[in-house]
Amino acid sequence: MKKHYEAMKKAGASLAFFAFISVVLVATTNSLTKHKIEENQAKMLLKALNQIAPESSYDNDLANSKIIIEPTESSFSHATPVYLATMQGKPVTAIFEVTTLKGYSGAITLLLGINADDKSVKGLRVVKHHETPGLGDKMEIRKTDWVLGFNGKSIGNPDMEHWQVKKDGGDFDQFTGATITPRAIVNAARSTLLYAQENMDGLFMLKPEKLTKQQIKQKSKEKLKTNNKLKESE
């Protein structure tokens, strides 16, 4: 009986040891896989950002120069990352990662780069969507050059009433058989430009963190006062 009990103890200890080893191996594999996935995602993000702001146009760590605008403090429907490109400390481009829920098949996420100086569109790329292949997916740069039509546009170019698809009386083309998708993107771009028009200066004065609308506006006011004082002293 005693021998049987000792054998069971040894068997139990062996099973516990192998179970421990298995858990360690699985945890290590998951950790390595997670790290690799995060690394690949970071590379894909930087590649997308560089389609809008080429590496030669900034000298900071763009992918990590990010602030988050909370939806409760803005007109954005989701927490909105903004990547801030600078050259020798001076603002160059703010790239907004905007999500609109007005797509035909749900959410559409796009990167919209806005020049810091004149608040015009530096570039636009759609990075995630669920639109119908062959119809709504024409906003992908690999499918058509439709998104290039936003380059250089701003609030006032065209005027507000023409920041719509042509079917709604605006200046932007819609897709054959698909109006909802381009309409959602145009509206999202217009809303983001309006936000940038009022808050751009404040964005570049803040450190990467979650920001409230009041903080951004305060920094914008401070920047405006500084600029006015400089003009008066000239």
- Altogether, the residues listed in the chain come to a count of 234
Are residues 101 and 193 located together in one domain of the fold?
yes
Report pTM.
0.75
Question: Could you give the residue ranges of the DSSP H alpha helices within the chain?
Answer: 2-52, 180-203, 213-233
Are residues 45 and 60 located together in one domain of the fold?
no
pLDDT in tens, 98-142: 999 999 999 999 999 999 999 999 999 999 999 989 888 899 999
Tally of structural domains, the chain: 2
Say if residues 101 and 77 touch (Cβ distance below 8 Å): yes
Which tokens is 10 given? 């040894």
Are residues 165 and 224 located together in one domain of the fold?
yes
Are residues 104 and 180 located together in one domain of the fold?
yes
Question: Does 133 sit behind a cis peptide bond, omega within 30 degrees of 0 on the bond before it?
Answer: no
Q: Which amino acid is at 201?
A: D
Are residues 47 and 98 located together in one domain of the fold?
no
**Which domain does 37 fall in, by range?**
1-52
Are residues 43 and 85 located together in one domain of the fold?
no
pLDDT in tens, 19-53: 667 666 666 666 556 556 766 767 888 899 999 99
What are 138's strand-pairing partners? Answer: none
Specify the pLDDT at position 15. Answer: 65
Say if residues 127 and 111 touch (Cβ distance below 8 Å): yes
